[in-house]
Amino acid sequence: MSKKLVGVDLGGTHIRSALALTATTHGDRVERPAPKGEPPDKAIAACAATILETCGGDKPDGVAIGIPGPLNPKTGVVFAAPNLGPWDNVNARTKFSELLGCPVAIQNDSKLGGYAEWVAGAGVGTKNMIFITVGTGIGAALVFEGELYGGAVGASGEIGHMYVAGDAVCALGHHGCLEAVASGTAIGIRARGAVERGEETILSALDPKRINGQAVSAAAQNGDRLARQIISDAGSIIGTAIASLINVLNPEVVVVGGGVMESGELFFDPLYQAVNSRAVAVSADSCRVVAAGLGTDAGLVGACAWAWKNFA
């Protein structure tokens, strides 16, 4: 009998899980709302219930879980998860293992998204790759010489907290960081501010609570001038950050994914322009900057692939 290995993508909005069928494929997904803003034990219990449903009520043989926030995959401790709720040095691996009765691996969700793109998506065949995901927050995965790079305590890839400019504040309280000015959350905040100031936009017809990154993207694609400017500015800022990474790390490819992909060329054209104008030529010429190949499924593909790598 084959092992029941489960990958879980724990996001700020949804919990998604599936059985790992091979190193790069998974079965049908099971999806539930994530208990955002609740204590960690509630999110962990909701994940455990989703995992058991994925296994048809049976105990899994191994589980890998992607969690949005800085964490140490070796100790299992999640240092913080601001897009989930009040997580503070939570040993998630121990809690999950006790609930499920099986070995559990945890990893940052952006790293698993990057791992998925490396083994099954736009980064296949490379040794040095950077993956950047732009959604509710902004994170990254670094692959150096064919290995997913974790850093001293496994918390590498937090590019969303690189300082860019301004005084906007992210969920961790950092002023002017990339996540505070160019994430999906930041896009929504900027649009709501414009509506409050009375600027002309079709977004003013919406309930302010519904003006988020997705709504701004839809308005931009419908030709709304304000929305298009906000999306373009975010693309340019992300492109500038990518140029800096190319200059420092000289990767073969930079893969860009996350919910921002819904904006298409409205986001990517200014991103490419910023990269081309700011990256050192010799490094830029040896690097491709491409949209993710797996779309929003990357986190789940990566979690399943990680379960396979650790427990198959």
Q: Look up the CATH number of the domain holding residue 175.
A: 3.30.420.40
Give the Cα separation of 266 and 133 in Å (integer). 17
- Are 187 and 264 within one domain? yes
Strands 62-67 and 104-108: parallel
Q: Decide if 115 is inside a domain.
A: no
Domains identified in the chain, total number: 2
What is the residue-level pLDDT of the chain in tens, covering all 312 positions? 589 999 999 987 889 999 999 999 999 999 999 888 889 999 999 999 999 999 998 999 999 999 998 999 999 999 998 888 899 999 999 999 999 999 999 999 999 999 999 999 999 999 999 999 998 889 999 999 999 999 999 889 999 999 998 899 998 899 999 999 999 999 999 999 999 999 999 999 999 999 999 999 999 999 999 999 999 999 999 999 999 999 999 999 999 998 888 899 999 999 999 999 999 999 999 999 999 999 888 999 999 999 999 998
Give the Cα separation of 210 and 202 in Å (integer). 13
Q: What are the beta bridge partners of residue 74?
A: none
Residue 131 CA: distances (Å) to CA of 142, 206, 253, 278? 7, 33, 8, 19
pLDDT at residue number 1 = 54
- Are 276 and 200 within one domain? yes
Q: Decide if 194 is inside a domain.
A: yes
Strands 5-10 and 62-67: parallel
Q: Which residue has the tokens 């003006």?
A: 211
- Are 57 and 126 within one domain? no
- Are 218 and 131 within one domain? yes
- Are 301 and 166 within one domain? no
Closest CA to 283 of 258, 244, 239, 247: 247
- Are 70 and 158 within one domain? no
Alpha helices in 138-198 (DSSP H): 178-182, 184-196
Q: Decide if 114 is inside a domain.
A: no
Residues 6+ away with beta carbon under 8 Å from 295: 257, 261
Q: Coil, helix or strand for 60? A: coil
- Are 157 and 286 within one domain? yes
- Are 273 and 137 within one domain? yes
pLDDT at residue number 223 = 96
- Are 30 and 67 within one domain? yes
**Chain-centre distance of CA 72, in angstroms?**
17
Q: Decide if 137 is inside a domain.
A: yes
Question: Is residue 130 within 8 Å of 93, Cβ to Cβ?
Answer: no
Q: Which residue has the tokens 């995992």?
A: 51
Q: Coil, helix or strand for 111? A: helix
- Are 126 and 266 within one domain? yes
- Residue 267 sits in which domain range? 122-293
Give the Cα separation of 168 and 192 in Å (integer). 14
Single-letter code of the amino acid located at 86: P
- Are 146 and 207 within one domain? yes
Q: Decide if 116 is inside a domain.
A: no
Does this model's pTM top 0.95?
no
Strands 147-148 and 138-144: antiparallel
Give the Cα separation of 144 and 248 in Å (integer). 13
Q: Decide if 54 is inside a domain.
A: yes
Q: Decide if 117 is inside a domain.
A: no
Question: Is residue 72 within 8 Å of 93, Cβ to Cβ?
Answer: no
Q: Decide if 50 is inside a domain.
A: yes
- Are 148 and 271 within one domain? yes
